[in-house]
């Protein structure tokens, strides 16, 4: 679905510049131009649902003849799966110093195989991505590839980006009695949540965690992480502790099926991000068990930043095997989140706040002020019993309270 045009007919367009936003049932993402010139024609209006592969716009030279496009939108009921970002047809242009690129034919051009964030970096540093060797799937140039090139002298280094995990915007102004139209994401969330509650019996167990050692470690390492281009929040600590617990309790990293319980080999952790009135999105850190704390911080920074700028791709919100939601960012102490089907469970992290607690040492009780928070696991009772669920959360608590 074409949700919004960022350019209008007659506007100049730079190579890799975002020209529209497309919407699937899970993400809204920008589509960038694979050539430079002038936007001569829009084949579809905002709100149209378009067949994948159909021309939706034409970029060329002023005065150039514009071909007739396929101006018949697909019927919404024909789109059973999330729609991939549509193609943008344009001629091979000679108006820029970079090699001409095209999205025609089999769609295998370099512009078809780079993400919006890579396109933005390439545009900022005048990098011709067609000259780079990509390490991604199918030779795709990744963010890491282009940053290595830039840092190596291709251009000036890109400044590291910071983020807050809760990416929110003000709620829309509504009037009593008004009916608010559902967007695709809100309807998808509603359907998924109702399905989840009807699918699995939800049970929640809650533990209290002392984060004293985590706070000390974070304060001691924030500057070093920032030097390495990562904003060290508390989220990577919870992610790494969860990975440790999932490895010790593999049954939690599973899904229910009628054939039996499917225990996943990979640990792909989803981290919920609020988009305010637009809804909630869950980017997935693939193979989170292969990353150290710095790698997790970088990945979380990147996913959250691109969620905020609507630059996530459909495959980056799929394939999760377990989910973490940080509801404490809004002041919530504990919650009972709904399972992200078909996963076994979801971990909720509450507000981190200093509280007075009783500390026992050497048989002597004393009062201390500690940074405390509640963590809660909502789990599928078909897969886990109370004891196995508690063992999992206890392992997370152990990892956080004994951080080193």
Enumerate the active-site residues. Answer: 381, 385
| Residues whose CB falls within 8 Å of the CB of residue 72, separated by 6 or more in sequence, listed in order | none
Q: How many residues does the chain have?
A: 404
Q: According to DSSP H, which parts of 93-234 are helical?
A: 116-124, 143-149, 184-199, 212-227
Compute the distance between CA of residue 327 and CA of residue 235 in angstroms, rounded to an integer. Answer: 12
Rounded Cα gap, residues 183 and 181, in angstroms: 6
Hunting for tokens 């890579």 — which residue is that?
118
Structure tokens at 197: 């509650």
Q: Cβ of 41: how many Cβ atoms within 10 Å?
A: 17
Using left for φ > 0, alpha for ψ between -120 and 50, and beta otherwise, residue 126 falls in left
Q: Where are the beta strands (DSSP E) in 216-330?
A: 254-257, 260-263, 269-271, 273-274, 280-281, 284-285, 322-325
Could you tell me if 88 and 34 are in contact, meaning their C-beta atoms sit under 8 angstroms apart? yes
Closest CA to 205 of 385, 30, 376, 7: 376
Angle at 307 between CA 373 and CA 25, to 5 degrees: 110
Residue 344: phi, psi to the nearest 5? -80, -35
**Nearest Cα to Cα of residue 317 among 197, 147, 169, 189:** 189
């Amino acid at each position: 679905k074409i949700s919004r045009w960022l350019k209008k007919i007659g506007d100049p367009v730079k190579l890799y510049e975002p020209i529209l936003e497309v919407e699937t049932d899970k993400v809204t993402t920008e589509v960038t131009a694979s050539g430079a010139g002038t936007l001569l024609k829009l084949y579809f209006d905002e709100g149209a649902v378009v067949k994948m592969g159909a021309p939706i716009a034409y970029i060329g030279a002023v005065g150039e003849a514009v071909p007739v496009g396929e101006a018949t939108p697909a019927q919404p009921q024909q789109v059973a799966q999330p729609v991939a970002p549509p193609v943008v047809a344009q001629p091979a242009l000679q108006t820029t110093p970079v090699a001409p690129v095209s999205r025609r034919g089999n769609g295998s051009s370099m512009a078809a195989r780079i993400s919006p964030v890579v396109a933005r970096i390439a545009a900022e540093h005048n990098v011709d991505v067609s000259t780079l060797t990509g390490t991604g799937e199918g030779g795709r140039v990744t963010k890491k590839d282009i940053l290595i090139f830039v840092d190596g002298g291709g251009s000036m280094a890109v400044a590291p980006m910071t983020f807050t995990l809760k990416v929110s915007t003000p709620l829309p102004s509504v009037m009593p009695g008004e009916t608010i139209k559902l967007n695709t994401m809100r309807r998808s969330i509603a359907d998924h949540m109702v399905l989840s509650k009807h699918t699995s019996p939800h049970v929640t167990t809650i533990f209290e965690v002392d984060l004293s050692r985590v706070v000390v470690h974070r304060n001691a390492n924030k500057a070093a992480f920032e030097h390495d281009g990562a904003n060290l929040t508390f989220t990577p600590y919870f992610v790494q502790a969860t990975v440790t617990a999932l490895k010790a309790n593999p049954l939690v990293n599973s899904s229910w099926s009628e054939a039996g319980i499917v225990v996943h080999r990979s640990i792909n952790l989803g981290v919920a991000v609020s988009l305010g009135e637009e809804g909630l999105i869950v980017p997935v850190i693939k193979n989170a068990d292969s990353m150290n704390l710095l790698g997790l911080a970088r990945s979380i920074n990147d996913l959250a930043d691109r969620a905020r700028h609507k630059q996530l791709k459909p495959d980056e919100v799929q394939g999760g095997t377990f989910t973490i939601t940080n509801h404490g960012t809004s002041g919530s102490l504990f919650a009972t989140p709904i399972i992200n089907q078909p996963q076994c469970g979801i971990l909720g992290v509450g507000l981190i706040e200093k509280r007075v607690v009783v500390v026992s040492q050497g048989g002597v009780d004393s009062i201390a002020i500690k940074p405390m928070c509640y963590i809660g696991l909502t789990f599928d009772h078909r897969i886990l019993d109370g004891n196995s669920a508690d063992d999992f959360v206890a392992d997370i608590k152990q990892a956080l309270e004994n951080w080193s």
